[in-house]
Amino acid sequence: MKFLMIEDVVTSGGLVINAIKSIKEEKMKVTDAMQ
């Protein structure tokens, strides 16, 4: 399963990093992240 992470510009970016770590722990692949 693949994901594209999109984060709004108001947040610092730390949330997307934590989300990617959680997704990778579940053996899923994040292909791109946009902020």
Q: State residue 10's pLDDT score.
A: 63
Structural domain range at position 7: 2-34
Measured distance CA(7)–CA(15) in Å, rounded: 8
**What's the predicted TM-score (pTM) here?**
0.51
* Helix/strand/coil for 32: strand
pLDDT, tens digit, for every residue of 1-35? Answer: 777 777 766 666 577 778 878 888 888 887 777 66
CB 28 within 8 A of CB 5: no
CB 16 within 8 A of CB 30: no
Q: Of 17, 20, 15, whose CA–CA distance to 30 is shortest? A: 20
